[in-house]
Amino acid sequence: MPKPPKKSSSLRDGDPCIVIGGTHAGKSGTVRDIKTSKTGHATITVVQVSGVRFKTLARNVEVSHGKPSARAKS
């Protein structure tokens, strides 16, 4: 029997975050649209201050304390 997907308890919709791994490493923004894929991996959409959106795996994201930086790599 397959294991149920793990929930990422540290990420919540609306949290400011910094991407620490993967293609978008160094970017920051706000967490939106948390989903779990068929394979059980949590994916999120990150919205940057400029309005640009990108999707990444939740394991590559760390919650930051404070507002997303406008200086972050875009």
Backbone angles phi, psi at 43, to 5 degrees: -120, 150
Inside any domain, residue 4: no
Residue 27 lies in a domain: yes
User: What's residue 43's pLDDT?
Assistant: 95
Q: Which residues of 7-46 are buried (b: 16+ CB within 10 A; e: fewer)?
A: ebeebeeebbbbbeeeebeebbbbbeebeeeeeeebebbb
* CATH label of the domain that carries residue 22: 2.30.30.30
pTM value? 0.75
Q: How many residues does the chain have?
A: 74
pLDDT digits over 3-25, tens only?
554 444 578 999 999 999 999 99
